[in-house]
Structure 1
């Protein structure tokens, strides 16, 4: 039995079917794909998270290729920038830009600050340093404050001194002091993308499963996960029960612990209750005015913006908008905690926030032709200082007490994984179910891993 029909859950199902098993999938929402879905409204499509399809795993790449034919994939050059003091500064940061783009005086101040941090501060200890300590050492106090302090406060909704830096080693690249050559394929950063958005891939995965008789059960929230010493029983929100010999769970790890029956020991329930998520609200805005930002993503660390990140859908895939659309199509991402003011704001209230941000971007009188709002509650596991220790305690308890219960994916393992890593955790869990000596928890543990290069 599989809980969740996101990338991890669907991958587990595909691999189980390959091995002759007959899984059953239970998804709480009305769609497959999780955060990597593609909500639609007529010909308008929205990517709620900006999903780059890049992996260092040949197995993952082969699965992607098998689900969609070549003409349904497009190659997209990654172009990102940070909007700071009215300047679009390329990201990952390039040393030449930092020294010249915002003025020589500011550039020299930043370089001096970086040199001071490197010479007079100890290297942060991996696994224990806060994000502020890591960022100050990596970029110097001046550039850290300029580019990262405000952005992290806005997106993680916490003081950077209270956030662990584990994720930063993989997600934030160091300054590049040599300008990448546009004519050198080895220095290009290109990723694959489904023509009609990330959900196109996961809808194809669900269709393949349906051909083998495995159809995801939508609107099927799991309320209890019971073990009787011999097998598992899932109780759904409508009172139905289903039984099987193993559970692959991509539901949030905290919720899994809460729904286990018999209940885990008190200390396990306590550390699970401390696990938190950030939510994201993506507002897709079709503007009649053409505003060509030559980037996929624009990060907005400044306090003049409520939005944390902006996607320019025209630089992801033209097929996300109607074929005859000539204006701008942007996705504004607002990071919040569940049940905070922004999360519970009405559509009209969000629309007012969006208009304010559009004016800050330079649209004096924005004419909005179409607007879509997508709320994703369990989007990002929070990396507070206790996360790693708490997850390890839950992991060890489950391994010892319930070896046939397999947490998988970003939420199931409470880790800030990309979808390829979520898929790998599912693949390794299926292998473990069949007796292989593999550890799904070892996926994506390299501190220096970055997804970059040409994805063929």
Structure 2
């Protein structure tokens, strides 16, 4: 007997697709709406012939068995690769391993700068140990106390300014404990072997998994409705009404939303002024990824290279060849790089044409020392709402919106990175969707408690 339930899922990224799959597993067929013309959100993999672009370098690592089980159900074992974690910061032409390793810092930057950094590091650590405990007021304070002023300035200040588009003193620090590890001071022969820090990755990029999720939904009778931008939604007598940009109105008994939280509030009727002000205080960073295939082969032994220096406009460079050989045509033996530019969603660079972007990328290729290489192929992708900004008012604003929605709209379930305005990993977005569906069926779970551990790090031994 077919269920009489009729939930609506807004957004076909990792959270929305996961929610839809979970609902189907429970015998319920939702209506799945996606504002763009594709599924996968930021985790999609655009194609140009045999060239594939990964807009974020999506490592597949999780501590949650239910997430891992879903990954395994969607893709067979032969479609997964094991990718060793290998990242570096490019400082003054030297690749310094990241997360930072004390011995490597001294080796690459020289004894003189190493001693200066050690002195600063020791001084600030002593100062921190003598001060009252508590969460640092901002990222600059956190970084200075964690790494010392000298190393903070070299490795993090410029990078954070480029990638967060803000003064580090105006950014909250609560995301830093999860995203940035302390310096590793263990001796080389006592540290874990690189093979012990390995992640999974679909052969054809992260979008391969989410395309498989969409295909599984179609097989179950749930076809995502693309280019379906939500304009308004409201509820009356227990029924939800969702109006799309073309005027169509869809009815359902609940809404699962991964659309940006501030956009959700704007679409709801008669939200109090204090809630609307809180929503207006939420901001995003956009991301432009430019994939460049250089004809010559250059040895860059890292899958991510961070570029804190002012000689680069990009904030990070991906080395796609280190992720998967299937991201480029078979037999091609050049260097395939992804230059990542963090921009304001409505800024000039987001609106720049391809010619202007090409000039910027060419300058960064020269800064990388590869300006003489012939370019075989270029792909560009603009993602307007890629990352939530963690400014000082974010936590308070999100809490105000969350509490309002809980009281007045108990059958509305925000989920995912944008839906909850949190800097979640892919697995956290999925878990928030799973918990939201469990709550819909009466489970005593709180999706907002997902990824609440300040010490969570996305690293560890590969688990299949």
**After superposition, where does 1:57-456 map in structure 2 within 5 Å?**
57-121=64-128, 126-127=134-135, 129-179=137-187, 188-261=196-269, 263-456=270-463
Structure 2: distance between partners of 1:3 and 1:150: 36
Change (3 A) 1:110 1:413: same
2:85/2:194 contact within 8 Å kept: no
C-alpha deviation, 1:125, in angstroms: 5.6
SS of residue in 2 equivalent to 1:295: coil
C-alpha deviation, 1:129, in angstroms: 2.0
1:127/1:164 contact within 8 Å kept: no
Change (3 A) 1:126 1:258: farther
List gaps (5 residues or longer) in structure 2: 1-7
Aligned-residue Cα RMSD (Å) equals 1.4
C-alpha deviation, 1:189, in angstroms: 1.0
Structure 2: distance between partners of 1:353 and 1:146: 23
C-alpha deviation, 1:326, in angstroms: 1.1
Structure 2: distance between partners of 1:231 and 1:244: 6
Structure 1 residues 410-434: Cα deviation after superposition (integer angstroms, max 9, x where no partner): 0000000001000000000001111
SS of residue in 1 equivalent to 2:105: helix
SS of residue in 2 equivalent to 1:286: strand
2:196/2:462 contact within 8 Å kept: no
SS of residue in 2 equivalent to 1:175: coil
Structure 1 residues 114-148: Cα deviation after superposition (integer angstroms, max 9, x where no partner): 11001124558655520000000000000000000
Structure 2: distance between partners of 1:191 and 1:126: 33
1:186/1:453 contact within 8 Å kept: no
1:180/1:187 contact within 8 Å kept: no
Structure 1 residues 159-208: Cα deviation after superposition (integer angstroms, max 9, x where no partner): 00000001110000100011455995697210000000000000001111
Change (3 A) 1:123 1:217: farther
C-alpha deviation, 1:16, in angstroms: 0.6
1:355/1:366 contact within 8 Å kept: no
SS of residue in 1 equivalent to 2:116: helix
Change (3 A) 1:124 1:371: farther
1:220/1:236 contact within 8 Å kept: yes
TM value normalised by structure 2: 0.96
C-alpha deviation, 1:212, in angstroms: 0.9
Structure 2: distance between partners of 1:256 and 1:123: 42
TM value normalised by structure 1: 0.98
1:246/1:404 contact within 8 Å kept: yes
2:254/2:412 contact within 8 Å kept: yes
2:432/2:447 contact within 8 Å kept: yes
C-alpha deviation, 1:395, in angstroms: 0.2
Change (3 A) 1:182 1:71: farther
Change (3 A) 1:95 1:378: same
C-alpha deviation, 1:99, in angstroms: 2.4
Change (3 A) 1:357 1:182: farther
